[in-house]
C-alpha cells in the first residue's frame, strides 16, 4: 500500500511538472513552431536571409513576439507605410506560415500582417525594448 502511494505521488508530481512545460506559444489557436527574423533592405524585394530563428525552446522570445501581435493597436485612417525593418515568419506546427512586417525604433514600432496590408498596428511601448533585443540578436 505504501509503495502504491509513493508511485501515485511520483506520477502526480511528474504530470504536474510536465503540464507546466506544455504551455506552448500560440497564435490564433495554433502552436508556433518557430519565428524567423530577416532584415529588409531598400524594398520588400530585398529580404535578407533570416539572421535569427527562435524555436519552441525559446519560449520567452516566442511569447514576446506573440504578445506584441496580440497587444498591438490598430491605427485608424490611411497610413503612409515605409519599407519595414524586418520580416517575421511564424511557422506553426501544422506547417502553415504567417508573415508580418515589423518597423521598430528605440521608442516605438509598428507591425503589419502580410495578408492585411491595409491595416497597420502600433506596438505597445512595453514590448519595444525586448523586441529590439530579439530582432537584433545573432543566435
Residue 19 pLDDT class (50, 70, 90 cuts): very low
pTM of the model: 0.81
Say yes or no to pLDDT of 139 above 70: no
Task: Give yes or no for a contact between 132 and 104, defined as CB atoms under 8 angstroms apart.
Answer: yes
How much of the chain, in percent, has pLDDT values that exceed 90? 73
Q: What is the mean pLDDT of residues 90-106?
A: 97
Residue 20 pLDDT: 43
Residue 46 three-state SS: coil
- Protein fold of 24-136: Immunoglobulin-like (2.60.40)
Residue 118 pLDDT class (50, 70, 90 cuts): confident
Task: Give yes or no for a contact between 40 and 85, defined as CB atoms under 8 angstroms apart.
Answer: yes
Q: Which residue has the higher pLDDT, 12 or 80?
A: 80
Task: Give yes or no for a contact between 16 and 8, defined as CB atoms under 8 angstroms apart.
Answer: no
Q: Which residue has the higher pLDDT, 3 or 112?
A: 112
- Distance (Å, whole) CA 121 – CA 126: 15
Q: What is the mean pLDDT of residues 90-109?
A: 96
- Distance (Å, whole) CA 39 – CA 85: 6
DSSP labels, 72-90: -EEPPS---PPPPSEEEEE
pLDDT tens digits, one per residue of 47-83: 999 999 999 999 999 999 999 999 999 999 877 788 9
In the chain, where the domains are located: 24-136
Amino acid at each position: 500500500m505504501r509503495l502504491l502511494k509513493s508511485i501515485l505521488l511520483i506520477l502526480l508530481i511528474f504530470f504536474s511538472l510536465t503540464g507546466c512545460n506544455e504551455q506552448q506559444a500560440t497564435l490564433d489557436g495554433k502552436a508556433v513552431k518557430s519565428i524567423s527574423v530577416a532584415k529588409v533592405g531598400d524594398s520588400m524585394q530585398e529580404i535578407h536571409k533570416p539572421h535569427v530563428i527562435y524555436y519552441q525552446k525559446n519560449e520567452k522570445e516566442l511569447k514576446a513576439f506573440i504578445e506584441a501581435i496580440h497587444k498591438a493597436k490598430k491605427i485608424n485612417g490611411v497610413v503612409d507605410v515605409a519599407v519595414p525593418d524586418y520580416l517575421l515568419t511564424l511557422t506553426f506546427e501544422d506547417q502553415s506560415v504567417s508573415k508580418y512586417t515589423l518597423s521598430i525604433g528605440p521608442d516605438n514600432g509598428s507591425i503589419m500582417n502580410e495578408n492585411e496590408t491595409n491595416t497597420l498596428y502600433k506596438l505597445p511601448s512595453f514590448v519595444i525594448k525586448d523586441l529590439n533585443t530579439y530582432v537584433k540578436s545573432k543566435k
